[in-house]
Amino acid sequence: MESLSEEYIPLSYLVNYAKRLPDFRDAIYVERIIMDYCLSQGKVNTFMQLSDEIRNHFMPGAMVSSHTSVDKQIDDEILAKAIRAVLGYYWASAAHAVIFCVCRDKYNFPNNMSQFETKLMSINSLKGIAHPCKDGTIASALYNNPYMRLNIDKWEVNGAMQRVLTLRDNFIEEVERARYL
């Protein structure tokens, strides 16, 4: 298990400490320390795994840990076409997290944020858009909006903003339109 470099505190100790706290509101401060360290080291996936462990302790079964749909994965052309069709609903680069979550939950994309960001940055037809997807954008959005770790079908009852729900629904509609045209 990895440790915080200079202080030699194993990350596993911090996770176990967070899980001993009375509720998630207390544990979120420890999770924030883990996040700051992991993101400073470029270890987004390590942070996500540790964060999921803490959150699953307080909210068992609520976090997304595997693909939940039988829908077919979409190719890059359909993905790009659907994103371009919904750019009018984007409010910031963080809107890409909505796209990631829909792809993760509905279209069986891997639950790997940095891989998805790299995919979006490599699609030529998405270069030059107003709100590009940069490294760390999705992880930051999921950290700041914990409901995004839930399946997209549970967002509304867990406090998602209307703009998020609108983008989610319109993106799904555009993907389905592009798949069958």
pLDDT band at 42 (very low <50, low <70, confident <90, very high): confident
Task: Count CB atoms within 10 A of the CB of residue 129.
Answer: 15
Is there a single domain that holds both residue 142 and residue 171? yes
Is there a single domain that holds both residue 93 and residue 12? no
Task: Count CB atoms within 10 A of the CB of residue 30.
Answer: 19
Q: Is 31 contained in some domain?
A: yes
Mean pLDDT of 38-45: 80
Domain count, the chain: 2
The rounded distance, in Å, linking the Cα atoms of 43 and 111 is 15
Q: Which domain holds residue 100?
A: 76-179
pLDDT digits (tens, 9 = 90+) for 69-109: 344 678 899 999 999 999 999 999 999 999 999 999 999 88
Is there a single domain that holds both residue 94 and residue 171? yes
Task: Quote the pTM value.
Answer: 0.65
Is there a single domain that holds both residue 42 and residue 89? no
